[in-house]
Chain A
């Protein structure tokens, strides 16, 4: 019997024990980011064109930065834990993105 079983369930397959969400902090921040993006997009549409356009640029910048920030978060995490190979892969992705921006 595993810790998470209720005792009444057949034990055909053991239930996986869900440990604490390893990415809880990141998950919370991403939820907040969705709300922020929704608000910014709505304001871009509702406010006068001049102000809306500035907010729109901020919105697009946020949508560009968030996935890259997520990659950076994993790179620092893997570096701290000694997972050098995949930290290098993450840094490689960021490098390719930077090269793309420079070439453009």
Chain B
């Protein structure tokens, strides 16, 4: 296990890159920890602590902006958490070689999602005067603000999207990543929810996924609290600074760079598991 200072620095770096790249910190942190020699059984809980801290740090700002669709998020999470439970339980039974391969594949999927992810799809229609942004009660639709106009949206292909959520949850539980890099494209590309809403909802949902997995890891005695605290401090600092910088940078360029970085990480992790 690397020193606490190294863990804090790794947590800061990965959360920083994850925040500006919009792929979540653990996607990068867990493979990097593996490269640093941390056992997969211990790396996964550390990744989940980073996810939980990142989700918490972003929560109040996203609530204020009205971009989190809690009903959609909980619907997705109901299915994803089933996968997470099985994944987290199974991860204790799977060999470290296979865990590393799954983590490498998860990093590869993150790379593809980061590179392929589109920008803004929905354009404002601006006809919803006197209406505040947010989710519509009792539905999987709502509005969000873009360029001072209100954009309405409604989730589509809900059944298909929820089925995919089970798989994303399974990967989360097995690999110790929040799964935001899979959940965001599921909501935005399959369910046709705006990317901004998908990303914020995914951050909220990833916090619950992390909570579920951490509960199981904790009962299994796999959570190392002092290294975890170092990662949390790093994740809070990196996430905060990354979110600040994100608004000033060209997000698509950063996502491509992050995607390439993940490709390298995936190659190293999968190559090392042979």
Contacts and interface: CB of A to CB of B under 8 A. Distances in A.
Interface string A90-102: 1011001101110
Contact of A27 (B4, B60, B127): B60
A67 B52 contact: yes
9 contacts: A13-B149, A14-B126, A16-B143, A16-B150, A45-B8, A45-B226, A63-B56, A63-B214, A96-B78
Interface in B173-232: 204, 207-208, 210-212, 214-216, 218-220, 223, 225-226, 228-230, 232
Interface string B144-188: 010111100000000000000000000000000000000000000
Report the contact-size class of chain B (Cβ under 8 Å from the partner).
Answer: 35 or more
B147 A13 contact: yes
Given A21-B64, A30-B59, A16 B226 contact: no
Contacts of B1: none
Contacts of A90: 74
A2 to B, nearest CB: 6
Interface residues of A, number: 58
Interface in A36-69: 37-38, 40-42, 44-45, 49, 52-53, 56-57, 59-60, 63-68
Interface in A75-104: 81, 83, 85-86, 89-90, 92-93, 96-97, 99-101, 103-104
Nearest to B5: A45
A38 B52 contact: no
A40 B84 CA distance: 27
Contacts of A21: 63-64, 66
Contact of B228 (A49, A60, A67, A103): A60
B13 to A, nearest CB: 17
Contacts, number: 188
B85 interface: yes
B85 A103 contact: yes
A7 B236 CA distance: 41
Contacts of B225: 44, 52-53, 56-57, 59-60
B81 interface: yes
A69 to B, nearest CB: 10
B61 to A, nearest CB: 8
Interface string B46-68: 00010011011101100110100
Contacts of A59: 225, 228-229, 232
B233 A45 contact: yes
A56 B214 contact: no
B264 interface: no
B125 to A, nearest CB: 8
B58 to A, nearest CB: 9
B71 A103 contact: no
B272 to A, nearest CB: 29
Given A34-B57, A38-B236, A66-B56, A56 B215 contact: no
Contact of A17 (B8, B63, B130, B232): B130
Given A34-B60, A99-B85, A103-B85, A93 B126 contact: no
B124 to A, nearest CB: 6
B132 A18 contact: yes
Interface stretch (B17-25, B36-44, B133-141, B252-260): B133-141
